[in-house]
Amino acid sequence: MDLQVSMGTKFKAVVVSLFLSSLLFPLVFSGSTDGLLRFKLKKRTLDQNNRLAARLESKEGESLKASIRKYNLCGNLGESEDTDIVALKNYMDAQYFGEIGIGTPPQKFTVIFDTGSSNLWVPSSKCYFSVACFFHSKYKSSSSSTYKKNGKSASIHYGTGAISGFFSQDHVKVGDLVVKNQKSFRTRIHTGDPCQEFIEATKEPSITFVVAKFDGILGLGFQEISVGNAVPIWYNMVKQGLVKEQVFSFWFNRDAEEEEGGEIVFGGVDPNHYKGEHTYVPVTQKGYWQFDMGDVLVGGKSTGFCTGGCSAIADSGTSLLAGPTTIITQINHDIGASGVISEECKAVVAQYGEMILDMLLAEAQPKKICSQIGLCTFDGTRGVSMGIESVVDENSGKSSAGLHDVMCSACEMTVVWMQNQLRQNQTQERILNYVNELCERLPSPMGESAVDCNNLSSMPSVSFTIGGQVFDLTPEQYILKVGKGPAAQCISGFIALDVPPPRGPLWILGDVFMGSYHTVFDYGNLTVGFAEAA
């Protein structure tokens, strides 16, 4: 799950606008003749009423932080005893989660399997003063014969709340696999035991956790972003020999007419869940499952944003597909999505638009234009507000650092948009009109952009180049539908998130992308693979 988390080298954020809605159904188990243990899942469709809680939640935090979620910053299946399949529940086609057990006997918890974080946490029986804890399963250490005390404090901060508590250690059951004594890395060094910690959450003050249908998070990222340097549970599954191959894979079922929500397979891949061959790319930076991504195309045409390459992560815990505001705004414009008008953006175009165009035509350095016209300072990597008063507030005499930063960001986006239009030999009038249209498409405070459900058939595809292959998303794949019939609303699956250097700019390929492309996380070879989902 994730709302904006801030923890050392990372920060998380939960997509509250899309996954706070639906009731959990019990898992239904069924046998299999192929040696795999399969869990059949049921799911519910989107419900407009469920978005109300998300809107209430957004008022608790900053606009973008309330919209997204986190960040700062191979082969065939093995034998049945070497692989395990964990069923995933489908939550509004926006979040997928499954059931684990902690302790002896196992205490059951519903968790999001999140490749964008690395810690395991669940509510604690010692959570007395957070309303959220009364609506979820709680770990009771006194009921487990294998519990071992740790007590080290831990906290993860979100844009609209936080969870805090302390580390403990115990056995964790994932499917039929039992990972023993989840302890700390430090303990393992001294004892030689294969182990890792988990967090007992004693405070969950955010309304997000009250209405959420999951109990906790099971992180599948790398130890480099683990809070408290705790060893991720996947590391211990490998170290304890519980899986034959150092691979796990995700299949999300996006078919709203089917009850099955998806599967995560530990130790291999299920060939029934993909078509053709996977395209593998190397992990470029351990922490998230990060890799290099090529061009971004709309309707088969380059947006010009990633011609020099971009970085991306495959994140099962993010509902939507997130990217830099500049290009996401352009994509939402091209697909006909509407956001909230940004007066600051339009003010930049009105006052500086022609000047920016002239400077681009004079072959000025694009990255320095905004500092040269006085809206930003340039530190060698990005624009930083230098305190220029917003033209919107000139008459009132008001000024704020937030508005200054908006003016600087608006200028930087305007330069990119104009540069792309100049490449297409557009006239000055057309360019200025186009950039003003993009200003109107800037994301709303919730980060959402809506489209007319009747226009899906005329919307363009949006594509991403990974490993030299083009991965297309059709409108049916990148649009999320809320409700049915005349009351239905359609939400763009593209949302803006600006991750600052050195970690960013960064694209987050969440469930919108992973729902269309079966994803393999190869820990042994440090690669990520994508193939068309079946």
What is the DSSP track for 53-103? HHHHHHTTS-HHHHHS-B---------GGG-EEEE-EEETTTEEEEEEEET
234 is a domain residue: yes
**Tens-place pLDDT, residues 34-93:** 433 333 333 434 444 333 333 333 333 333 333 334 554 322 333 334 445 656 555 445
Task: Give CA separation, 51 vs 17, 209, 239, 497, in Å.
Answer: 6, 14, 42, 20
Q: What is the per-residue pLDDT across 264-273, written as a single tens digit (0 to 9) for each?
A: 888 889 999 9
**Mean pLDDT on 500-514:** 87
Domain hosting 371: range is 343-388+401-439
pLDDT band at 489 (very low <50, low <70, confident <90, very high): confident
Active site (annotated) includes residue 114: yes
Tokens found for residue 301? 């045409």
Q: pLDDT category, 190, cuts 50, 70, 90?
A: very low
Based on the domain organization, do 180 and 120 belong to the same domain? yes
Task: Give yes or no: residues 454 and 326 share one domain.
Answer: yes
Residues 230 and 361 in one domain: no
Q: Are 493 and 405 contained in the same domain? A: no
Residues 235, 297, single domain; the answer is no
| pLDDT at residue number 56 | 33
Whole-number pLDDT of residue 517: 97
Q: What is the pTM of this model?
A: 0.72
pLDDT of residue 71: 52
Residue 30 domain flag = no
- Asked if 165 contacts 154 with a C-beta cutoff of 8 angstroms, the reply is yes
> What is the model's pLDDT at position 342?
63
Active site residue 176: no
Q: 287 is written with which tokens?
A: 């922490």
Rg (CA), the chain: 23
76, part of any domain: no
Would you say 510 and 315 are in contact if contact means Cβ atoms under 8 Å apart? yes
22 found inside a domain: no
Task: Locate 362 and state its tokens.
Answer: 């004079």
Same domain as 46, residue 194: yes
Q: Does any domain span residue 396? A: no
Q: Tell whether 5 is covered by a domain.
A: no
Q: Count up the domains in the chain and report the number.
A: 3
| CB 520 within 8 Å of CB 247 | yes
Map tokens 């395990």 to a residue: 84
Q: Apex CA 30: angle with CA 25 and CA 32, to 5°?
A: 145
Condensed to tens digits (0 to 9), the pLDDT of residues 287-323 reads 999 999 999 999 999 998 887 789 999 998 888 899 9
**What's the whole-number average pLDDT of the chain?**
75
Burial class (CB in 10 A: 0-12, 13-18, 19+), 192: exposed
Q: How far is 326 from 501, CA to CA, in rounded Å?
A: 16
- Asked whether residue 456 falls in the same domain as residue 501, the answer is yes
Instruction: Answer yes or no: do 226 and 326 share one domain.
Output: no
Identified catalytic residue from 215, 315, 511, 522? 315
For residue 4, is it within any domain?
no
The separation between CA 534 and the C-alpha centre of its own chain, rounded to angstroms, equals 22
Residue 505 domain-assigned (yes or no): yes
Instruction: Please tell me whether residues 432 and 453 are part of one structural domain.
Output: no
- Confidence tier at 431 by pLDDT (50, 70, 90): very high
pLDDT in tens, 126-185: 999 898 899 999 999 999 999 999 999 998 864 445 789 999 999 999 887 788 765 433
Residue-wise pLDDT tens digits, 48-60 = 433 333 333 333 3
Residues 131 and 222 in one domain: yes
d(CA 199, CA 214): 15
Q: Of 409, 439, 469, which marks where a domain is finished?
A: 439
Catalytic, out of 114, 215, 511, 522: 114
**CATH number where 303 lies:** 2.40.70.10
Specify whether 213 is located in the same domain as 157.
Answer: yes
What pLDDT was estimated at residue 179? 84
117 and 218 part of one domain = yes
Query: How do residues 250-288 score in pLDDT, each as one tens digit?
Result: 998 877 666 677 888 888 899 999 999 999 999 999 999
